[in-house]
Amino acid sequence: MEMKGLLKIMVVVVMVMGGCRGDVNSFRDCYAKCFIFCMIEPNKSLCTCTTQCLKECIFPSLPSAIDQHSQNLAYCKLGCATSMCSNISKTHNPDGKNMESCVGSCSNKCTMSYSSSSP
């Protein structure tokens, strides 16, 4: 019960600071908001919330007509982030800043990988 109370307070702080404005300006904002709300839900584990929020924030809203190259880059980034960054968040701290940095390094790795393999 103590964890739920702390998470509810964190949600209020995020809302007051503007984290729930409806527009998410960065991966960090998206991830922190998603993670906090996910952890409040009953029976959600740290691993489930981390994976769910990485997916939601890497693929925020892909247009249906996205080209194959962009889609491959996004899947590469998700795979890299899931394996390299998933241990950063803790139950009481999404650590959006370090998650954003880690996911950004995945983006660079995937871009370099796909650029070097292009004909």
What average pLDDT does range 101-116 have in this prediction?
82
Helix (H, G, I), strand (E, B) or coil at 101: helix
Q: CA–CA separation, 97 vs 28, rounded Å?
A: 6
DSSP state of 1: -
Q: How far is the CA of 90 from the CAs of 85, 94, 95, in angstroms?
A: 12, 6, 8
Quote the domain boundaries for residue 61. 2-117
Q: What total number of domains does the chain contain?
A: 1
pTM: 0.68
Q: What is the pLDDT of residues 19-74, one digit of tens each?
A: 444 444 689 999 999 999 999 998 899 999 999 999 999 887 655 556 777 778 88
* pLDDT (0 to 100) of residue 19: 40
What is the residue-averaged pLDDT of the chain? 78
Specify the DSSP class assigned to residue 93. Answer: B
Is it the case that residue 94 has pLDDT exceeding 80? yes
